[in-house]
Amino acid sequence: MTNPQQPHGPLRSFGRLKSRPVKPRQQALLDSLLPTIAVPHEAFQPRDLMPDAKETWLEIGFGGGEHMAAQAGRRPDVLVIGAEPFVNGVASAVRHVEEQALSNVRIHEGDARDVVGWLPDASIDRLFVMFPDPWHKARHNKRRIIQPEFVADLARVLKPGAAFRFATDWADYAEWTIERMLASPAFRFAEDGIDRQAIPADHVTTRYEEKKLGDCAPVFLDFVRA
């Protein structure tokens, strides 16, 4: 039966990313700080979260949050929304927010597809999907976050000209993503004919990336919303 709260289907946890018990100090920080920086669990306007923000960026599946926090720290004038269902990752991200005294980060502890569903049309200036769960076995490919329906949802929430960076260290997922993104008339590569394994100047190494679990060097796909 379809759950009206989850029109996209349930979240599937990948491998070792299942939750561990949260340490008491982390739990205390989660309890005190997360409610103050959580996004509403319903349709919302990003400008209501940070009225003076020049742009709104979204990171899907931020893991430990180091990339999200570093990007937010570089651009305090930008509202950075992150979504991650893994409680240990959210606890880590909240710690980064506290330690770096970031006032421009908002977090959804849960499925990014819900956040995308709540966002207004053309409301996001920049999107990151960094090293998403690869689901590299053929029978699991259907669990990948990049699916034609999700690409259509991203096309709706990204502003014309918005940038979308996707990174993976699984060669087949890079090909999968290129195929599905460029099948949509809403997306094109930001640049043609470049080395997609060159590390972008503004990239921040992620925890998953450091583990080198994939079958190739990281591939960075920078798309633009047409």
Ligand X SMILES: C[S@@+](CC[C@H](N)C(=O)[O-])C[C@H]1O[C@@H](n2cnc3c(N)ncnc32)[C@H](O)[C@@H]1O
Residues recognised as catalytic: 133
Under the binding rule (CB under 6 A), the answer on residue 216 touching ligand X is no
- In what helix (H) or strand (E) does residue 168 lie, and over which residues does it extend? strand 158-168
Q: Residue 169 interacts with ligand X (CB under 6 A)?
A: no
In the complex with ligand X, the residue whose CB is nearer, 62 or 223, is 62
Of residues 57, 86, 164, 220, which one binds ligand X by CB under 6 A?
86
Please answer whether residues 90 and 22 qualify as being in contact, where contact means their C-beta atoms are separated by less than 8 angstroms: no
CB 125: neighbour CB atoms within 10 A?
Answer: 20
Tell me the window of 31-39, 57-65, 94-102, 119-127 that interacts with ligand X (CB under 6 A): 57-65
Is residue 214 within the footprint of ligand X (CB under 6 A)? no
Please tell me whether 173 is known to bind a ligand. no
Stretch that binds ligand X, among 21-29, 94-102, 108-116, 175-183 (CB under 6 A): 108-116
Strand partners, 130: 167
Q: Answer yes or no: is 48 a known binding residue.
A: no
Footprint of ligand X on 133-152 (CB under 6 A): 133, 145
C-alpha of 55 from chain center: 16
Per rule CB under 6 A, is residue 62 in the interface with ligand X? Answer: yes
Contact with ligand X (CB under 6 A) among 49, 85, 171, 224: 85
Nearest-angstrom CA–CA distance, 4 and 21 = 30
Please tell me the distance from the alpha carbon of residue 15 to that of residue 145, in angstroms, as a whole number: 15
State which of residues 46, 63, 214, 218 lies at the interface with ligand X (CB under 6 A).
Answer: 63
Residue 206 annotated as part of some ligand binding site: yes
* DSSP class per residue in 13-66: --GGGS--PPPHHHHHHHHHHHHHHBPPSS---HHHH-TT-SEEEEEES-TTSH
Is 131 a binder of ligand X (CB under 6 A)? yes
Q: How many Cα atoms sit within 13 Å of 79 on the Cβ side?
A: 21
Footprint on this chain of ligand X (rule: CB under 6 A) = 11, 17, 60-63, 83-86, 89, 111-113, 130-133, 145, 206-209
